[in-house]
Amino acid sequence: MTAEYPVFSRLLPLLPNATVVNFIPPEEGESLVDYAARMAAQFPRESYIVGVSFGGIVALEVSRIVRPRGCILISSIPSPNQLPPWLRLWRTLGGRNSARMLRAAGQCAGLIPRSICTHATLRVRQLAGAEGSWHCW
């Protein structure tokens, strides 16, 4: 599970029985537990669930419902208290404020010429776009 399917593109040919489950859009005011319950319907029992980054967090919640053979986290965290400090701060802002702040940061990053953009600047641009809705959620 990841928002970016290409992450698994080199791994899938080695795993002929693997299935990539795409994220579904979160509903307004939906908790992560409720979201995982909706996602769980897509997973067969007797499987392994693999999640990358935020997909790992969702994979853990889905695993509590589906009870797979195993849950593998890649570049993810097993519990909320392992979130990096900047993300814990971001979480406390919550709701509409975080969406506005993310949009403003993206607009500022958009003013920087692409030729001198850093990886971080490009990431902020991405987060301010469609990908950012996941972070605000």
- What does the pLDDT look like over 34-66, one tens digit per residue? 999 998 988 887 889 988 888 888 999 999 999
- Amino acid 20: pLDDT: 80
Is the predicted pLDDT of residue 110 greater than 90, yes or no?
no
Average pLDDT over residues 98-104: 71
Is the predicted pLDDT of residue 71 greater than 60, yes or no?
yes
Place of tokens 């469609």: 130
- Give the H/E segment covering residue 40: helix 32-40
Q: Residue 51 pairs with which residues in a beta bridge? A: 73
Residue 72 contacts residue 50 (beta carbons within 8 Å): yes
User: Which range among 24-28, 68-72, 109-113 shows the weakest confidence by mean pLDDT?
Assistant: 109-113
- Amino acid 130: pLDDT: 55
Higher-confidence residue of 9 and 69: namely 69
The C-alpha atoms of residue 96 and residue 46 are separated, in whole angstroms, by 40
Residue 136 contacts residue 98 (beta carbons within 8 Å): yes
